[in-house]
Amino acid sequence: MRARLLLAALGAGLIALPQFSGNYVLSLATLALYFAFTGQAWNVMMGFAGQLSLGHSLFVGLGAYAAAALFVKFGIGPWAGLWLAMAICVAAGAAIGLLAFRFGISGVYFALLTIAFAEFTRIGFDHIGWLGGPGGLFLKVGQRTSWDLADLRGTPAMFYYVMLALTAGAFALCAWLLKSRAGYYWQAIREDEDAARALGINTFRWKLLAVAISAAMTSLAGVFFAFYYNNLFPEQIFHISQSIEIILGPIVGGVGTLFGPILGAVLLTTLADSLTNLVAAMGLDIPGVKQVFYGVILLLVIMFLPNGIWPPIAKRLGLGRKD
Amino acid sequence: MALLEIRSLSKSFRGLRAVTRASFEVPEGGLAALIGPNGAGKTTIFNMAAGVYAPDAGEIVFAGNRIDGLRPDQVCAAGVGRTFQVVKPFAGMSVLDNVIVGALRAERRVPEARRLALRILEELNLGAKRDLPASSLTLPDRKRLEVARALATGPRLLLLDEVMAGLRPTECDQMVEVFRELNRDGLTILLIEHVMRAVMALAQQVVVLHHGEIIARGTPAEVVRDPAVLECYLGEETEV
């Protein structure tokens, strides 16, 4: 009940936000929601099923390139393109999962495999001339005064609402998954895979499902990325720093929780931006100040709140452990 | 009719013969115990029956079907529940959620599984602790949870690996009572046990394993008088 009230208040605030704020705040909020969404997607794999991915940029990149290529080369809009993006990402996720889970690769080695896939895809895309190679793939920048939802061209407020809808959808999906049979099985696998098997769980199949769902969700973030930024470079979108930024939110907020990834992403994005502005206002030019800030926050959270910021807050609010 | 038949089962680990041509059966509705000194191969037989290892030779037949070489989840689906000697609770989940995971084998939908899990927790006197995280349980409760989870999968045969170890005598007697009740309701049970108090109270049939070979079988009373058994095992343990 309390969780519902909190959620309703949060939702109302977020829906009303564009009425009060300018484009700067909106772009910041969109970025925060973007990381909340991708963090939520990553959390399905790591937080729920215990499979650590350090290569989620693979799914962002593949999704972005799939939808952007369809749009630029064939004039097919994002709402059709996202299905191809999802299909490609699910296939890529399944390939990683099949390889890893069939041969019993888990833990750190699984994480390394996900990095490897993201890295060689990055290098591969550098050599695909049709998609611009290292020079990048560009979408025509549309005019930004009216909403064109069909082609995802419009004002910052439109992009904000699209990202808000995605994040809300991801939240609802995760809440439902966690309470479903899949959610119970994933948590069992995360806690003790041998015991899960002994209880009749085909762990191979359920782990694969977690990867597929996580990949499909992340591909949508990629589609959004392509149409929001209008430019794609393999060096940027497939880069490991993308993957790291995705997982910071849930780790800071609370791995395996529903609100954690959102809270973490919002905190990190707004704080990092404030810090960058502050440094700039002081007339200093410190490259990499954001990364150092992320490092410090991560260190503090791991030292003092290893389960993330959200669980103690949830306790104080009288919410369940999983919320 | 035998529900579980172990036929001439052998297993070696890098040249160490853990189990050598072991054969025995557990009748439908029976309650049998597998005993023997440490390292006799009891848990190895369990692990083969539960699908953790495939045997090098021999067959395991459950309810008329071969189950040797199946995966653990397939063995469970066939109707064999097991507990682990070193308990493996899902530490981050609540006691109730632990049992729901097992119950989802028998009941596909979460609300029904939850109802089944609650009933089983009551049976095992864990009802009051259902909302605690499994990590906060004491060892006797963890053992009970291990049994509850396995029971929730709706097995026809329950393999219990030293669930009495570490329990106080009164707790042990409670567990004995629980298993006797379950057996009366038709569940077939095979247990590995060091606590002779429980074996003598429970088992209708005892199989004694030593260095991977079966050296005696019979009723508890027969087995404890068997000279070979006394020599290898019971002669040193006088807690009977």
B112 in reach of chain A (CB within 8 A)? no
pLDDT band at A323 (very low <50, low <70, confident <90, very high): low
pLDDT > 70? residue B233: no
**Distance between CA atoms of residues B73 and A189, nearest Å:** 12
**Distance between CA atoms of residues A242 and A264, nearest Å:** 16
SS3 state of residue B185: coil
Q: Tell me, yes or no, whether B122 lies in a domain.
A: yes
Q: Do A184 and B109 touch (CB under 8 A)?
A: no
Number of domains in chain B: 2
**Distance between CA atoms of residues A11 and A168, nearest Å:** 9
A235 in reach of chain B (CB within 8 A)? no
pLDDT digits (tens, 9 = 90+) for A142-179: 666 777 887 888 888 999 999 999 999 999 999 999 99
pLDDT digits (tens, 9 = 90+) for A208-228: 999 999 999 999 999 999 999
pLDDT > 80? residue B73: yes
A27 Cβ contact partners less than 8 Å away, ≥ 6 residues apart? A156
Interface probe, candidates B71, B87, B90, chain A, greatest A C-beta count within 10 A? B90
pLDDT digits (tens, 9 = 90+) for A75-114: 899 999 999 999 999 999 999 999 999 998 888 999 999 9
Predicted confidence at residue B1, as pLDDT, reads: 75
Q: Do A196 and B101 touch (CB under 8 A)?
A: yes
Predicted confidence at residue A144, as pLDDT, reads: 67
Same domain for B238 and B166?
A: yes
Same domain for B42 and B145?
A: no
SS3 state of residue B94: strand
Range list of H helices, B158-210: 169-184, 196-202
**Distance between CA atoms of residues A49 and A47, nearest Å:** 6
pLDDT digits (tens, 9 = 90+) for B161-199: 999 888 888 888 888 999 999 999 999 999 998 888 888
Among A191, A194, A198, beta carbon nearest to B93: A191
Predicted confidence at residue B235, as pLDDT, reads: 54
Same domain for B30 and B103?
A: no
Pairing mode of beta strands B205-210, B213-218: antiparallel
pLDDT > 80? residue B205: yes
pLDDT > 80? residue A3: no
Q: Indicate the residue type of A160.
A: Y
DSSP 8-state class, residue B3? E
Phi, psi of A322 (to 5 degrees): -85, -25
Phi, psi of B4 (to 5 degrees): -120, 125
Number of helices and strands in chain B (H, E): 9, 10
Same domain for B112 and B10?
A: no
Question: In this predicted structure, which of A37-46, A87-96, A150-159, B121-130 has the lowest mean pLDDT?
Answer: A150-159
Mean pLDDT confidence for B69-97: 94
Give chain A positions within 8 Å (CB) of B89.
191-192, 195
Q: Tell me, yes or no, whether B85 lies in a domain.
A: no
B106 Cβ contact partners less than 8 Å away, ≥ 6 residues apart? B113, B116, B152, B153, B154
Q: Tell me, yes or no, whether B69 lies in a domain.
A: yes
Predicted confidence at residue B128, as pLDDT, reads: 93
- For position B175, which CATH number holds? 3.40.50.300
Same domain for B173 and B60?
A: yes
Write down which residue in B99, B125, B154 finishes a domain: B154
pLDDT digits (tens, 9 = 90+) for A268-297: 999 988 888 888 888 887 788 888 888 899
ipTM for the predicted complex comes to 0.90
Q: Which two tokens stand for residue A16?
A: 């009303």
* Domain membership of residue B145 as a residue range: 90-154
Pairing mode of beta strands B213-218, B80-82: unpaired
Please, how many CA atoms are within 13 Å of residue A57, restricted to the half-sphere of its CB? 25
Highest mean pLDDT among A36-40, A136-140, A315-319: A36-40
Mean pLDDT of chain B: 90
Predicted confidence at residue A53, as pLDDT, reads: 96
Range list of H helices, chain A: 2-20, 23-43, 57-74, 78-102, 108-126, 156-179, 181-191, 193-198, 203-229, 234-237, 240-253, 260-281, 289-304, 310-317
